[in-house]
């Protein structure tokens, strides 16, 4: 196993509020020794750049938002089986070299941030062959039956076709949590902890807190704006933070 082959998996549909962050993600993760894979839905028209650009097949009957979110759980079909693959959100950007997952097991970061209910999509790591096993992807191929597998998972979970945002938005981490349950005793859980001054994750600059830098904490990541992200007030605040850590692009 090549323990230097570490890949962070992001995703986006044709929404500039998300893919705006890709070049910043690539620079930041490269700094910490990770390659970047971005899963994109078929409607994406922007020219994107990363170590891996993987366009998902069309899947009829589900939103592109859902396809983008859940695509990260199928990334192992396209990536080296011995690579360490870690999920991340496009609007979660690293600010330090915090992630040291176990190459020989499954590592979940921040389960405590959901009060130990759902496994968050941000920061679940294991090798590609383990992802295949956990997600039940044996015999699944892009060119033939991947859409059928995605729809089977949609029907099993029963959320993605809901008209209510509070339900369909949760399809990906509900599916991930269910698939991980049989492996629970083999998972290394890394609790993140919450801020000393509030409810947000320790070391996180959070959009819910107007991207304020928490005092007296080692910065770990930034939970960035995901709506109207190019508004000068939002973009300039993000760039000031990012440039102070990683430098200008």
CA 182 – CA 160 distance, rounded (Å): 23
In this predicted structure, the answer to whether residue 143 has a pLDDT above a threshold of 90 is no
Residue 199 pLDDT class (50, 70, 90 cuts):
confident
Residue 13 pLDDT class (50, 70, 90 cuts):
very high
CATH 3.90.550.10 is the classification of domain 6-193: yes
pLDDT digits (tens, 9 = 90+) for 15-35: 999 999 999 999 999 999 999
The better pLDDT of the pair 244, 215 is held by 244
Max Cα–Cα distance, the chain, nearest Å: 52
pTM exceeds cut of 0.85:
yes
């Amino acid at each position: 196993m090549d323990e230097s082959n570490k890949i962070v998996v992001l995703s986006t549909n044709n929404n500039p509020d998300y893919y705006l962050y890709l070049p910043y993600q690539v620079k930041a993760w490269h700094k910490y020794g990770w390659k970047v894979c971005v899963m994109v839905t078929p409607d994406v028209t922007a020219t994107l750049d990363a170590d891996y650009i993987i366009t998902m097949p069309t899947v009829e009957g589900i939103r592109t938002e859902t396809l983008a979110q859940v695509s990260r759980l199928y990334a192992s079909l396209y990536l080296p089986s011995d690579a360490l693959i870690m999920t991340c959100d496009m609007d979660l950007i690293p600010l330090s070299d915090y992630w040291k997952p176990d190459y020989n097991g499954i590592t979940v970061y921040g389960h405590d941030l959901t009060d130990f209910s759902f496994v968050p999509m941000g920061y679940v790591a294991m090798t590609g062959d383990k992802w295949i096993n956990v997600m039940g992807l044996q015999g699944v191929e892009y060119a033939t039956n991947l859409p059928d597998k995605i729809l089977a998972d949609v029907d099993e979970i029963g959320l993605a076709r809901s008209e209510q945002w509070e339900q369909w938005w949760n399809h990906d981490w509900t599916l991930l949590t269910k698939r991980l349950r049989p492996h629970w005793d083999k998972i290394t859980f890394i609790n993140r902890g919450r801020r000393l001054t509030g409810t947000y994750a320790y070391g996180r600059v959070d959009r819910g807190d107007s991207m304020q830098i928490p005092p007296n904490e080692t910065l770990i990541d930034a939970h960035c704006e995901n709506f109207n992200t190019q508004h000068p007030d939002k973009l300039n605040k993000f760039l000031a933070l990012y440039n102070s850590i990683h430098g200008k692009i």
